[in-house]
Structure 1
């Protein structure tokens, strides 16, 4: 049968079909990685609702899932989620964003038994995947990194760091979320920090050797920033805060961060040329690295007795909003380090996002909180029960909210006309 189109044109159209169904780069509204588009919890181009009532925030769909702590990844038309089934298999699913209908599923054996004192937090997949517009990078709990074709779910490559680098399995599992910068994926895995070619899976270099195992298992996720003109990876290991050259893994600067049992967990946050971090059993710190990118220790701007834990902070209009080890929520002046206010206790963990004016926080107990970002006082605008237990990071795309509870994924949509009044 004769083709109705000239062969070159027909071939071109067929070649373009994948590009039409899945964009080559994450769009501005995509939730493509841990803590969102810029890895800082800030959502641009949207305005949060004034209320969390059923009228203002409507549930669109909900599906059951096996346990997991990975946050969802959201594109224009898909949602990617992970789960652990029967403490044996790790599963990645692509869902239709509009309906929750399954598009594809991929799985592999993956299980680990965490130490007894961490058992309350489960033996299931932890890290949030990363998405580059074509591929999905998933960290399995047994220190594996799997690259999937986001359109089809096909495994493109897989790294078993324990097998390849002969390092001990991470006692608490692969908890640090992958970071994509250019043509590389950076992960705290294999007993250190690794740069991986995102197309081939080749390990380009390994730095910050910590030995792996019990006290080498990194929790904090790496961050990319330019400080005083020097592009660098901001990496918090179990014991240090470090600036690393993305090209070759050379250490630009390093600062010890005291913490009980090395519980440096939250992702450091950058403001202009300074880095904020906080540790369990330690303090909160603001540092400014040297302008030259030399290996000298960074300048300490201030410290504060507040102790962060797992919840990564938000920086809004010169103030730090941080959920603490003692389960309270606090506001710290970024310039002076002064505590402006601290609340009574909530749950053990918050994941937070902001539109620059209001904060949406998902409490570990399943309460969704709407908070006014006010440095003068704590202003809780609304509160709504959306789950029984949730440790995964909240995701926002457009006017939709994606909540990964321990046993399900739910999508909510707010009425944008309400926010325009």
Structure 2
């Protein structure tokens, strides 16, 4: 009798468990259908959120693979990248459908399927046969043939890729300790006064409360744009697009009152991309169509202007427009037109006159002609002051006094977009790029009149590749988010290329980074902001919060100034209190 009771109880529990599983499966099916519907929402944030959610659902998301392809309609690069990432994350769940659609599907879906296979890289090795055949199929549309060839090259290169690290670090100058300085100082340009994404203030919160640091204020009305802020002389400068025109903007920092707005450019899909550079009584801005303006800080009066396209034959390496932030060095204003006779140019910062322009020789076949999306940095390498940047064909060094081309490095270039600017320490240059490239440390040498670069190490993309959030180097460690449209927190030894740690990203999307007071601030493009300790020992989170969001991805880098954290997201600027009382 007792055995019968136990058996009945066991059967009852099993039936209830089965019913619970069935209910869970039914609820999951309903959720998948809801997310598929959300993929067609008018709000891109809703479409991105649906893609992120489906990417985490594994096998249950199989019915969503084709709708995810159908949602890649090309209206928003951010949405399309999110969908490609989601399909790549689904991996073997999505792969059979992607192969089938790319091979024999309708033309409007073959291109999205090809891009998703490209994003998968080595995980799409089962698609090699189809990719080979389509790449040689003369009856296929040219864009589909090209996609097949590109995806095939990426899959094969990832399967074969090798990282070259070094066991014994080369001799190099010691890294200076990042000391905190009294007072707030200024933040007059992109990534700060030294263009290194380091805030040297102290007395900041070392841990954040659960809900995040207190929000002091928010400012709306900046207009669309990915331009960051510059702070100098009690004023805040940025750029924004309003009513189909680009403006340079100046605000009173204390009262947030707009002091002036000067029209500098025309409508662009993302708005202005460059950050103003403030130098004394002048501020320099660059519009997306390549117009350089020198404006008076006091009232925005145009003191002079130049046109990089018309005057220097400038062009960009790809479809996206000018985004570099101009560099002031002494009496020179450094810009990168990207022209055949003027890859880089120096202008007199007072008059706008041309001091020199640098004609760039061929440095290799990788990448594309034109300027990149990186910004120049100034450095002393082998005793020569020079400007280092990543352009369409790779990293270059140009003599500061004459504009003479000194050296180039092609391996870091891709054909799509070269974005993250180099970091220089002594005679060593760290470069990183995405889109199937990776990272490298170069030793730049001068032998009499000849310059050359030597690879100390090369890290394949699966080790470390930074998309566009930048990196920061502190005490010999490189910190940044790794992955195409991803932000996997990673710490790399600068001298050897050894990975100290790589953590799972706490959010989907790419991440920008800033160092302040012993900690790192990661900002993810979905709105999450994370505080982590800057240490090569481990990735240790000390606080996080979800910031209010504006239109599109939150790609603008965080800024810390005078104990406050500034986060711009298109039309919106948020200010948080970080002071440790």
Aligned partner (choices 530, 533, 543) of residue 372 of structure 1: 533
2 CA distance for matches of 1:184 and 1:162? 20
* Equivalent position of 2:226 in the other structure: 69
2 CA distance for matches of 1:293 and 1:43? 38
* Equivalent position of 1:57 in the other structure: 213
Higher fraction of strand = 1
Does the alignment pair 1:203 with 2:333?
no
Q: 1:54 to 1:37 in 2, by over 3 A?
A: farther
**2:396–2:407 contact (8 Å) kept in structure 1:** yes
**1:268–1:312 contact (8 Å) kept in structure 2:** no
2 CA distance for matches of 1:292 and 1:412? 51
2 CA distance for matches of 1:317 and 1:330? 15
**1:46–1:398 contact (8 Å) kept in structure 2:** no
Question: Could you tell which deviates more after superposition, 265-274 or 251-260?
Answer: 251-260
**2:184–2:562 contact (8 Å) kept in structure 1:** no
Does the alignment pair 1:193 with 2:344?
yes
Does the alignment pair 1:137 with 2:248?
no
CA offset at residue 416 of structure 1? Answer: 2.7
* Equivalent position of 2:327 in the other structure: 179
2 CA distance for matches of 1:356 and 1:242? 32
Higher fraction of helix = 2
Q: 1:173 to 1:210 in 2, by over 3 A?
A: farther
CA offset at residue 176 of structure 1? Answer: 1.2
**1:132–1:180 contact (8 Å) kept in structure 2:** yes
- Is the radius of gyration larger for structure 1 or structure 2? 2
**1:217–1:238 contact (8 Å) kept in structure 2:** yes
* Equivalent position of 2:570 in the other structure: 406
**2:294–2:302 contact (8 Å) kept in structure 1:** yes
**2:469–2:557 contact (8 Å) kept in structure 1:** no
CA offset at residue 239 of structure 1? Answer: 1.7
The runs of 5 or more residues in structure 2 that have no matched partner are 1-182, 363-367
What's the CA shift string for 1:169-188, capped at 9, x where partnerless? 77311111101100111111
* Equivalent position of 1:16 in the other structure: none
Q: 1:294 to 1:354 in 2, by over 3 A?
A: farther
Does the alignment pair 1:288 with 2:443?
yes
**1:230–1:292 contact (8 Å) kept in structure 2:** no
CA offset at residue 51 of structure 1? Answer: 3.0
2 CA distance for matches of 1:210 and 1:176? 21
Q: SS in structure 1 opposite 2:321?
A: coil
* Equivalent position of 2:465 in the other structure: 307
Does the alignment pair 1:338 with 2:485?
no
Q: 1:332 to 1:202 in 2, by over 3 A?
A: same
**2:315–2:337 contact (8 Å) kept in structure 1:** no
When normalised by structure 1's length, the TM-score is: 0.84
**1:242–1:254 contact (8 Å) kept in structure 2:** yes
Q: SS in structure 1 opposite 2:445?
A: coil
Q: Aligned ranges for residues 110-121 of structure 1 at < 5 Å?
A: 110-112=266-268
The runs of 5 or more residues in structure 1 that have no matched partner are 1-26, 113-121
RMSD (Å) for aligned C-alpha atoms? 2.3
**1:210–1:216 contact (8 Å) kept in structure 2:** no
1 CA distance for matches of 2:323 and 2:457? 29
Q: 1:363 to 1:148 in 2, by over 3 A?
A: same
1 CA distance for matches of 2:517 and 2:440? 23
CA offset at residue 296 of structure 1? Answer: 2.8
CA offset at residue 360 of structure 1? Answer: 1.3
Q: 1:148 to 1:54 in 2, by over 3 A?
A: farther
What's the CA shift string for 1:320-339, capped at 9, x where partnerless? 11212241121111122111
Number of residue pairs aligned between Structure 1 and Structure 2: 379
Q: Aligned ranges for residues 68-87 of structure 1 at < 5 Å?
A: 68-86=225-243
**1:236–1:268 contact (8 Å) kept in structure 2:** yes
**2:393–2:414 contact (8 Å) kept in structure 1:** no
2 CA distance for matches of 1:223 and 1:162? 22
**2:397–2:407 contact (8 Å) kept in structure 1:** yes
Question: Could you tell which deviates more after superposition, 260-269 or 125-134?
Answer: 260-269
* Equivalent position of 2:579 in the other structure: 415
2 CA distance for matches of 1:149 and 1:253? 36
* Equivalent position of 1:15 in the other structure: none
CA offset at residue 382 of structure 1? Answer: 0.8
1 CA distance for matches of 2:263 and 2:189? 20
* Equivalent position of 1:156 in the other structure: 303
Aligned partner (choices 275, 281, 303) of residue 429 of structure 2: 275
Q: 1:196 to 1:44 in 2, by over 3 A?
A: same
Does the alignment pair 1:348 with 2:509?
yes
Question: Could you tell which deviates more after superposition, 70-79 or 285-294?
Answer: 285-294
Q: 1:99 to 1:59 in 2, by over 3 A?
A: farther
Question: Could you tell which deviates more after superposition, 52-61 or 146-155?
Answer: 52-61
